[in-house]
Amino acid sequence: MAKPIILTGDRPTGPLHLGHYVGSLANRVRLQHEYQQYLIIADTQALTDNYDNPDRVRTNILEVALDYLGAGIDPEKNVIFIQSKVPELYELTVHFLNLVTVARLMRNPTVKDEIKQKNMEESLPAGFLMYPVSQAADILAFQTDLVPVGEDQNPMIEQTNEIARRFNFLYKTNCLKEVKPLTGSVGRLIGIDGKLKMSKSAGNAIMLSDSFNEIKAKVQKMYTDPNHLKVSDPGQVEGNVVFAFLDVFDPDKAAVEELKDHYRRGGLGDGVLKQRLTGILEDFIAPIRKRREDYAKDREEVLRLCFKGSEQAREKANQTLTQVREVMKLL
Ligand code: ATP
Ligand code: MG
């Protein structure tokens, strides 16, 4: 029996952060033996809002690949590939674009938020608006079963399945397979600034490659309770970014509950909490960073791995594309 298939990936707009880990990467590491996994480094998608900064995208392809390997993705078991090296995905995108209205694209809540965030309201690039369609092509090309993603990606999965259903109905086929999203232990990790989402673009992230000093400095900057001026003052736990991170990353849940009680009563300083969090995040990141550094000694080899993966991805995507072309009566 062939293994079920996972397709998931990331935009090479920066190195990966803790949000990627809890939202998606942890699941990929956990499931890599049960599933045949395809990991896409989505450079074309990254260019839809970075077309004026191709160097950023180019440089980060390798950084993302190193983050995968650092996190424990086994290069022998997984297919890591670069989106722009698999042109079959472009052709699928073009065919799928006929099945989606502009109004439907404008209703995608994640895209709507991003347009606002990136001040694109006035001059919205068509390529950016339609990136969920290209993402649908990425997913459907591999006969995917499962897509491990953060919460912000749910509207993309919904749209992908709409396209699959519409295509199959229209062309009387079953060559496209509907997929299921799989959200990680935390669907949306907040940023170190307390904002709703840790993100590469927002500059509020702790990277999987950060040094101890970088982690320490970022934790220092975290917002606690502005009214907790003296150690003896009672403090607030809700909305306190340090506690939000302890809730996610501290393995000792009982100790965190005790710390919360102590903080609420007063007598527990922010410094103690921040020191604890710094230690926990360092313990979490250190093995990833170490493995990453080992792989980074031979960057050429990692790039070769991505090229080889792209060849394998082409083969798989071509099987779907051949069926798609056939039912669309293309010559
Ligand atoms: P960008 O700011 O360039 O969009 P990003 O930080 O949002 O970068 P993506 O490459 O867009 O990262 O996302 C890759 C995957 O990681 C997606 O599945 C996404 O849902 C997940 N992810 C990203 N940030 C978080 C987060 N803060 N919490 C949980 N999952 C996340
Ligand atoms: Mg994103």
239-262: pLDDT as tens digits: 999 999 999 999 999 999 999 999
* pLDDT for the residue numbered 161: 98
* pLDDT for the residue numbered 63: 98
Residue with tokens 């006035």: 122
d(CA 138, CA 147): 11
Which of the four pLDDT bands, split at 50, 70 and 90, describes residue 298? Answer: very high
| Whether pLDDT at 111 is above 90 | yes
Quick one: which ligand is closest to 208's CA? Answer: 1
Pocket-testing residue among 7, 20, 190, ligand 1, by greatest number of atoms within 8 A of Cβ: 20
Could you tell me the pTM of the whole model?
A: 0.95
Higher confidence at residue 201 or residue 73? Answer: 73
Atom 21, ligand 1: residue with shortest CA distance: 150
Expressed in angstroms and rounded, the spacing between residue 202 Cα and the centre of ligand 2 is: 10
If you write DSSP's letter for every residue of 104-161 in order, what string do you get?
HHHH-HHHHHHHHHTT-SSS--HHHHTHHHHHHHHHHTTT-SEEE--GGGHHHHHHHH
d(CA 213, CA 195): 23
Q: What is the pLDDT of residues 94-109, one digit of tens each?
A: 999 999 999 999 999 9
Residue 185's closest CA among 72, 10, 23? Answer: 23
Q: Within a 10 A sphere around the Cβ of 3, how many other Cβ atoms?
A: 11
Pocket of ligand 1 (CB under 6 A): 10-11, 13, 19-20, 23-24, 149-150, 152-153, 188-189, 197-201
Index of the ligand 1 atom closest to the CA of residue 187: 29
Expressed in angstroms and rounded, the spacing between residue 315 Cα and the centre of ligand 1 is: 27
* pLDDT for the residue numbered 266: 94
Expressed in angstroms and rounded, the spacing between residue 190 Cα and the centre of ligand 2 is: 13
Pocket-testing residue among 8, 21, 22, 24, ligand 1, by greatest number of atoms within 8 A of Cβ: 24
The boundaries of every CATH 1.10.240.10 domain in the chain are: 212-291
Q: Could you tell me if 306 and 65 are in contact, meaning their C-beta atoms sit under 8 angstroms apart? A: yes
Q: What is the pLDDT of residues 156-175, one digit of tens each?
A: 999 999 999 999 999 999 99
Expressed in angstroms and rounded, the spacing between residue 97 Cα and the centre of ligand 1 is: 24
d(CA 125, CA 228): 46
Index of the ligand 1 atom closest to the CA of residue 11: 10
Index of the ligand 1 atom closest to the CA of residue 190: 27
d(CA 253, CA 239): 18
Pocket-testing residue among 11, 146, 247, ligand 1, by greatest number of atoms within 8 A of Cβ: 11
The boundaries of every CATH 3.40.50.620 domain in the chain are: 5-190+299-327
* pLDDT for the residue numbered 229: 87
Residue with tokens 């849940």: 253
Q: Could you tell me if 200 and 17 are in contact, meaning their C-beta atoms sit under 8 angstroms apart? A: yes
Single-letter code of the amino acid located at 39: L
Expressed in angstroms and rounded, the spacing between residue 305 Cα and the centre of ligand 2 is: 24
Expressed in angstroms and rounded, the spacing between residue 199 Cα and the centre of ligand 2 is: 7
Residue 188's closest CA among 45, 21, 30, 14? Answer: 21
Quick one: which ligand is closest to 205's CA? Answer: 1
d(CA 94, CA 103): 17
Q: What is the pLDDT of residues 10-23, one digit of tens each?
A: 999 999 999 999 99
Index of the ligand 1 atom closest to the CA of residue 14: 3
* pLDDT for the residue numbered 1: 80
As a whole number, the mean pLDDT across the chain is 96
Atom 14, ligand 1: residue with shortest CA distance: 10
Pocket-testing residue among 111, 190, 199, ligand 1, by greatest number of atoms within 8 A of Cβ: 199
Index of the ligand 1 atom closest to the CA of residue 42: 10
Residue-level length of the chain:
331
| Whether pLDDT at 200 is above 90 | no
**In a 3-state reduction of DSSP, which class is residue 36?**
strand
Residue 284's closest CA among 175, 185, 168, 136? Answer: 185
Burial class (CB in 10 A: 0-12, 13-18, 19+), 121: exposed
CATH of span 5-190+299-327? 3.40.50.620
The structure tokens listed for 125 are 């690039």
* pLDDT for the residue numbered 196: 85
CATH of span 212-291? 1.10.240.10
